[in-house]
Structure 1
């Protein structure tokens, strides 16, 4: 048996001279798992193409390099998990194709089940392949809790049926693509279920002010918890309505123009609402994730109207990273964090990679320039320089920010693709020691996180660009044992 990588999580399997499509189950290889799957997973999948439905013959399961694969008829494809990394404009046609195919499959009696991002594939010839629901459930049962959370549970409401959850999943996908954040985010399945049942997410237009309120209202209507006994009578967005909405959003757009003043007023309102709805959930995480908004909005509201118009990006200019080899592009992206250089970060990425980091740096750039105009200081010191020169003491009136101790380990590189493991420290203001409501202090306390990312690059218009950044690990740094970097 010979395996050839096709795309993330997908391989071509050559067995007895016959090609098969192999789908990674993300289940560690062991005899028990393989035996159980082989014995119980006997149903075929569904392949929808040009309004026609055919069976995708499941050949079985196989194990290779300690990984278990489901395999069947060979169809070159890309998984929904990979497609979800695209930006909104590129993602939308795939969502329309998926919803149209779901409706066609259901009319032919297919049971799709709840959404699992590794069980829906987009074929290269324009079709959609659905792994049967029974097989998906068997696989999901044996996946790790973190994989279940990432592939399925983040898109699935615990109290809704399969049909309702397909609508819920579409709302989650749209919300995430439009705002850069999931409507519900939690460290484990239990916490996620509690959040979905009890707390409405921050409306999408409050998180990203440029989103049309009418679009945000549709997403909120699907996502919000059902609080009353008449919950079952709440209007739902069925698959036909989703198809019409997505088609309309593609043709008319979902964003609006705002002035700087309007945008900042909405951000200030969003901060107030988010703080109120978060009080009973994870106070420590709230402060670590939102210190930037608290500080930035406080200064911005006072100094409203002073944002320079020169921040608008000229997309006709060549990338600042043009001509750099893959390693230098990765270094440019991470070191630009310390310089609050969001323009270089944007030049180094494509397909929405690093969106959260870029948004953070952009917000801090605005805040630092405003503070510089008033106090003659940005309030930040370079984390790399601070870690190399100091003993861990934070100077009065300043806080370290950015990346320190950057290390790159090459994993793969050819003429079109490259991959690196990136290890570093990320320093930022915050306090992880107090579970109570965040309090204003004379000077912020720094926290450090030790991170490892998997960074993937490809060529685009002749330049190397980062198209995916995957966080592999993150842990809090014990500052009591901190030693200067060498």
Structure 2
């Protein structure tokens, strides 16, 4: 088999079976990555045309340079990643094609995922292929390049929103970047952004203009929709395009442009960008000046309000700090006087208690069973699941966590929608070293257990609704626990993974 790299996310596979397309996932070809992708392998990528829908069906998963490839029928195509690195005027025809199929995409929301270079592909026959949500989420998890991080950071809509809103917002980010050459909420590339403080700034010169108050990060800019208006950076930009770009980024659900009109507006942008001259007349200059004034006022108002909030918070924080210092000191003294949580437990019992506490999400018991940071990743994972369960219980009014051991004991009943199956099952003590006569000595306990983690996937129910279906990933872990005697009790000081395998 010959594997030819054709793009950052695409491979052409030549073999005796014929030519195949490989989607490069960048997922390591081992462990949980392989299991997670295998569970999604039978999903299909959707191919959208203005007048029809088709699907790309994966046939197998192969390894290439220790990373996983999804193989299927060959299609000549180019990834969004490659498009976004073309000259800006050459990006717009592809964005127009994407705009032309958005209405069809909105009818298949389970394919709307965080937008990045490997989630969208443009076929030579004018189709637009989009990976299913499960694939995109897993691939994105293993990407760490700066461009992908910036793209996802800018194109992810903050706050609660619909899938349609998220996609239109992301599209607006791509369109803005194509016509201005920069991301909308990032001033690191913006050399033309006007001074936030004009001479008549007022508001006590924005409360004496401390430099730190002027620094606004991307998330703050997104949340408050603070971006230089397109006309400010490109005064000759067609008015309809500038208006629609701004509407997409502001993302008011009651004032979003119609997806059907976007293709025409983007195409007009392309015509404007490729014209030999971009005329900037008096009307355009007046519009630029007006945009600049509006932007300055919005930025100034935001900085003033944020500065006042911060300074008001400092007074409250100072008072709260005194209370917290006293509280923490009392808590530390109290804990120091408390007997160890593992007092009276033998090493095997300490290990069993630690692991079984995963199922009850008793992170305090887990933390009280270890020293020197042992098991911190596992404890943090339990904390995250615990916090998620608490928030969702308050929001949804139901308990969403299921213990794997309980689930197995009950015969693996169907999991309710959006349920988190998390924890361990089938715990076995394999071997243990008996403590010696030295009370300060060490001992070891070897165990094997099956660990489960939730895998929530978007699926279409029989009634046509898009639901969060409950799946899980699991693996069989063999570990060695090293324990030391301290304060008359045994504590876990190190956890070594000896083996990890699929169930």
What is the TM-score when the length of structure 1 is the normalising length?
Answer: 0.48
Q: Which has the larger radius of gyration?
A: 2
